Amino acid sequence: MTSYLDYAATAPIRTEVIDSYAQDLRLLSQNPGNPNALHAAGRAAREMLEDARKRVADSLGADAAEVVFTSGATESNSLTVLGALKAAEEAGQTPVFLTDGLEHPAIAKLGDRCRENGGQVLIAKVDELGLIDTADVERLCSENQVSVAAFMAVSNEVGTIQPVKELAEIAHRHGVKHVHCDAAQAVGHIEVDFHEWGVESLAFSGHKIGAPGGIGVLLIKRAIAVVSDRIGGGQERSLRSGTQNVAGARALASALEIADATRAEETSLMLQLRAQLIAGLDPRATVTKVGQTSPHIVHLTLPTEHPEVILMMMDQAGVAVSAASACAAGVPRPSAALLAMGRSEAEAMGALRVSLGWDSTSEDIAAFLAALGSALDAAARFEKGRN
């Protein structure tokens, strides 16, 4: 049986969500209706969809009209950032995209697209603790006409909680009209309040909080100008055309409500497991020093430049974790986030992420700790054989 410690990649569907999801699927199968149709069956499906929309809004401090259902955070990020850059271009401006060195590829690669289309990309500095440098954000916003700024609420690699509200205030003070937040690792783990944070848009995925894959949300204020490339029937405020996933939207709403109701209890569990992990850690491994972190992510630095060996050995031992370094065509690459934090290339190669969830147990941590020593030994032998 696998000790699953990779919740930041995806989480199991919550048992309660499976039950309600199955019930909705049966109902929609017995009474099929497109939520955009005008007949009774369509109106019933629309009522189910709008109920989910309101529940999501209520959980996140938003208005129902600000909730757009998508396939997940990646699509939500793309829709809003590229849409904002396109709107700037159509207004006769040079698109300018501000982000930072910690971002997930779902945001970072949008910068590549911006450059390809003749726009400018500004990268704010981060400090050694993984916090975005607010002074540098202020400088970049004051010196440039930024079209859209995008920041993660919680780093997907090291777990640092970013000062989203402060970053939004700085950007707005210098005339930035659109601040976007990738909250994929925040929703369900820390309190998220869309209006309180003051951002114009926010993205997250259902599969990170116990809903099925393929459903996500983009919160976006009504007055924000974005140009969508999703051409079709104009569903979801003409931002994401196509027939909506009614059962998926309701499953996401249920998972979100459960996560909110159980957050305090689950946070306590994760902090206990985190303490157990750190106390029993092999002395060759170190906990990466970062700022305030989300309780579900523990980031480790290991003395190896071959994280794939560590992962293979952990997998053989029945433990699922992730390397924080990227892998392209089977070739390990150093973590861009750790490099941005000023770590050496060797440190950025030997990064391991352990991420916890509501079903994580003390036995899972014990299995990880037992497997780590052997995995480090195997990596050392592998590196010695290559030298």
Residues 280 and 247 in one domain: no
| Distance (Å, whole) CA 235 – CA 303 | 51
pLDDT at 328: 44
Domain total for the chain? Answer: 2
- Which residue shows structure tokens 């070739």? 331
List residues bridging with 357 in a β-sheet: none
Q: Above pLDDT 90, what percent of the chain? A: 84
Task: Taking residues 198-204, report their average pLDDT.
Answer: 98
C-alpha neighbours within 13 Å on the C-beta side of residue 6: 16
Residues 230 and 280 in one domain: no
Cite the active site residues.
Answer: 327
Residues 109 and 192 in one domain: yes
pLDDT at 329: 39
In sequence order, what are the residues at sequence separation of 6 or more whose Cβ sits closer than 8 angstroms to the Cβ of residue 381? none
pLDDT at 66: 98
pLDDT tens-digit map of 48-76: 999 999 999 999 999 999 999 999 999 99
Residues 58 and 202 in one domain: yes
Q: Specify the CATH number for the domain of residue 159.
A: 3.40.640.10
**How sure is the predictor about 1, in pLDDT bands with cuts at 50, 70 and 90?**
low
**Does the pLDDT at position 43 exceed 60?**
yes
Segments forming the whole domain that contains residue 272: 3-10+262-386
Q: What is the DSSP letter of 283?
A: T
Tell me which of 257, 288, 314 is where a domain ends. 257
Indicate if the alpha-carbon torsion angle 227, 233, 236, 240 is positive or negative: negative
Residues 231 and 299 in one domain: no
Residues 87 and 202 in one domain: yes
In sequence order, what are the residues at sequence separation of 6 or more whose Cβ sits closer than 8 angstroms to the Cβ of residue 362? 272, 273, 276
Tell me which of 257, 286, 307 is where a domain ends. 257
What is the residue-averaged pLDDT of the chain? 94
Residues 101 and 206 in one domain: yes
pLDDT at 384: 78
pLDDT at 232: 86
**How sure is the predictor about 182, in pLDDT bands with cuts at 50, 70 and 90?**
very high
**Does the pLDDT at position 387 exceed 70?**
no
pLDDT at 119: 95
Q: Specify the CATH number for the domain of residue 279.
A: 3.90.1150.10
pLDDT tens-digit map of 216-257: 999 999 999 888 888 888 888 878 989 999 999 999 999 999
Q: Token digits for 80?
A: 């809003």
Q: Token digits for 242?
A: 């196509």
Residues 88 and 227 in one domain: yes
Residues 198 and 270 in one domain: no
pLDDT tens-digit map of 112-167: 999 999 999 999 999 999 999 999 999 999 999 999 999 999 999 999 999 999 99
How many helices (H) and strands (E) the chain has is answered by: 12, 15
Residues 300 and 244 in one domain: no
Residues 116 and 45 in one domain: yes
pLDDT at 103: 82
Tell me which of 218, 236, 257 is where a domain ends. 257
pLDDT at 324: 67
Residues 27 and 120 in one domain: yes
Task: Taking residues 190-197, report their average pLDDT.
Answer: 98
